[in-house]
Amino acid sequence: MRSVVGVVFLLAGGLLLLFPQYEKRAYHEEQEELITAFEQLGEWETAALADGDLEQNQQAEYVVAKDARGMLSIPAIDLEMLFFDGVSVDALNKGAGIIEPEKKMGVQNVSIAGHRGATYGKQFNRLNELKVQDELHVKMDQEDYTFIVDKVFVVDQKQVDVLSDKESPYLTLVTCTPIGEENPTDRLIVQGKLVNKEEV
């Protein structure tokens, strides 16, 4: 009997070790599919107008990608994710969210919030690894924006002045910290200054 219990515990332990890797891979695959869908929106809309239909496996991705405002890419931490208007549970489960959707990218200080996620590489999990001079890329409204990180710091959740406009266009990334703490009261902030803007 003890050997059976031992085997069960061994298998359960193995599954617990493998689950985060499975979850991470599934998350990355889902994000890649959504990013592809976002990039193919124009083609899909044309196909939908011409044929009146999309393949079934494209429909769900199309619906999500169509709602996306843009794509955030951070090469230093190998992150690509879509972002949406607002910071609702739905928006943050699909990607990241623009805290004040009425602000203009490349003109004001636009803030994007995302979950920290306990799984390595998921959502804003590795945001703390960013350093001054790292690049942040945003694709939005037929424009590519490049920001250079000039500040990485932690503030209390009530310190909302980090969202205020500055003299130059900025991108501010916001996530909870530390990882794993229930109802954390601090926020990790990464701010980058606009250095380039190009039409796609």
Catalytic residues, which ones?
Answer: 115, 176
Q: Are 83 and 74 in contact (CB under 8 A)?
A: no
Phi, psi of 34 (to 5 degrees): -70, -40
Q: How far is CA 89 from CA 41, 86, 96, 114, 157, in A?
A: 24, 9, 10, 10, 18
Cα separation, 48 vs 157, whole angstroms: 44
CA 26 from centre of chain: 15
Q: How many helices (H) and strands (E) does the chain have?
A: 4, 8
Q: Is the dihedral of CA 145, 150, 153, 159 positive or negative?
A: negative
Residue 171 forms beta bridges with which residues? 110, 192
